[in-house]
Amino acid sequence: MAHPAVNRVIKIIRRPSFWLIVAVMVLITLPHYKEAIQHPVFLTSFLDDIGLTRHAFERIFYLAPIVWAGFLFGWKGALVTSLFALGAMLPRAIFISEHPTDALFETGVVFVIGNVLAISFASLRRERDYRTRLENTQRELTASEERYRKLFENAHDAIWLHDLDGKLINANRATATITGYSQDELLKMNVKSFLSEDSLALAQQIGRSLLAGEPVAQPYEQRIFRRDGSQAVVQLATSLMMDKDRPVAFQNIARDISEQKRMEENQRFYLQQATLAQEEERKRISHELHDDTIQSLVVLSRQLDALATGNQDLTSEDSRRSLEELWQQTNNILQGVRRLSQDLRPAAIDRLGLLPALEWLAAEVTRFSGVDATVSVVGQEHRLPETTAIALFRITQEALRNVWRHSGAQKAEITIAFTDKSTRVTIRDDGQGFKLPDKMGDLAKHGKLGLAGMQERAQLVGGTLKATSRKGKGTTIVIEAPG
């Protein structure tokens, strides 16, 4: 591998500007020695005709390649070119010139001025390059700052900066959305304004740990007060901002998880209530079996035992009447057990599918509650996965239970629509309606446990549930599930 200095020389020699300087040096040197070489004849005659006989003009011309070399290759290029020019001028000044003293003086002046000019131009070029780099850097910084500003302002997460005393320095639009304050109002506030005592204590603890260089578990949850007095739960990450190795501020990036936390709390509450409801239902079934079915079976067992062990004539009228009564009791017991069984899990849904099960359910509601429940079908019926069919049946069952228990409705319409990709069940009644929460996630919180359970069942099979209701205008529930 060649030496780096040799590589630099090779690169310079390969540049066209180097050879242009060499050509200029040759063109200047030829007329400088026109008397000695008598060539070219036309140039010698031309210079004599215009009176240039002392060759000071050619010496001044040597300044051009010297300055040019300095501009292109720096002071080293100017020095080398001026040495070559000096070598070209000295023979004439010493051996040929009729005025050697003046010629030597002019040669020295050209050498010195050429280097001074070359160094000056090289310095100017470096200054120009430096200013160009500085301007480019400034433009890049400005562009980078603008990009950061856009990212900062348009970020989905809230971002704010506050100094070590808690005074806000900057805040983006998402921060204003979470807190309810405008950006201008936030810049006049301290973080203490929207933190409770516990939240402020946590923030101060995080700040002390960051200032001490201690590890902090992030992100962490924090509660802040909105302008309207409500609370928001945010997932927060805090970092320390430095300026010349000196801490100056804290940067906070927050994501509003209030809805998520509300859903989690509602889900826990709903699961607790659902567990209690299941236990109550089990207790009800147990009591019904014990107080009704089992007692009836006990009585029936004793009557059959008395009939079997007695000396009664089974062909008498009284015996036939007793047998008929026993048959009726047995039939009633069977009907009760069958009703309990259907309530727990209707056989139609396993044997025939969702549509027959909904038709049976509508008939049972009409018979026992007096609400005129009807079923209509849209599209071509097809068999659904068992879990989806059960979920849609249970949701419809709960909706109809709410209709006859709470709505005061006279009619309930069940519409089941089949498509290639989904099945939609709509339950519409003409009851008194009720006020829905603003958000479906607040159903359990507002005591709408039936609707909350229906929504949970729909989500378990990848479906959705929408409810609309107005007082005096009835209620409509739409469940859509894949399949």
On whether both 125 and 233 belong to a single domain, the answer is no
Among residues 293, 320, 344, which one ends one of the domains? 344
On whether both 133 and 79 belong to a single domain, the answer is yes
For the stretch 161-214, pLDDT in tens is 888 888 988 888 888 888 888 888 888 888 888 888 888 888 888 888 888 888
Kindly state whether residue 231 falls inside one of the protein's structural domains.
yes
Residue 280's pLDDT band (cuts 50, 70, 90): low
User: What pTM did the predictor assign?
Assistant: 0.41
On whether both 443 and 366 belong to a single domain, the answer is yes
Dist. CA 161–CA 191, nearest whole Å = 10
On whether both 355 and 400 belong to a single domain, the answer is yes
Provide, rounded to the nearest whole percent, the portion of the chain with pLDDT above 70. Answer: 76
Q: What is the pLDDT of residue 50?
A: 46
On whether both 323 and 352 belong to a single domain, the answer is no
Among residues 113, 142, 171, which one ends one of the domains? 142
On whether both 131 and 203 belong to a single domain, the answer is no
On whether both 307 and 215 belong to a single domain, the answer is no
Q: CB atoms < 10 A from the CB of 130, how many?
A: 10
pLDDT at 54 over 60: no
What is the rounded end-to-end Cα distance, in angstroms, of the chain?
73
Residue 372's alpha-carbon distances to 266, 330, 361, 382, 426, in angstroms, are 34, 31, 12, 26, 16
On whether both 126 and 190 belong to a single domain, the answer is no
On whether both 133 and 208 belong to a single domain, the answer is no
On whether both 480 and 450 belong to a single domain, the answer is yes
Kindly state whether residue 148 falls inside one of the protein's structural domains.
no
Domain boundaries, position 300 = 272-344
Among residues 256, 290, 312, which one ends one of the domains? 256
On whether both 352 and 479 belong to a single domain, the answer is yes
CATH number, residue 217: 3.30.450.20
Q: What is the pLDDT of residue 282?
A: 58
On whether both 438 and 354 belong to a single domain, the answer is yes
Kindly state whether residue 59 falls inside one of the protein's structural domains.
yes
Domain count, the chain: 4
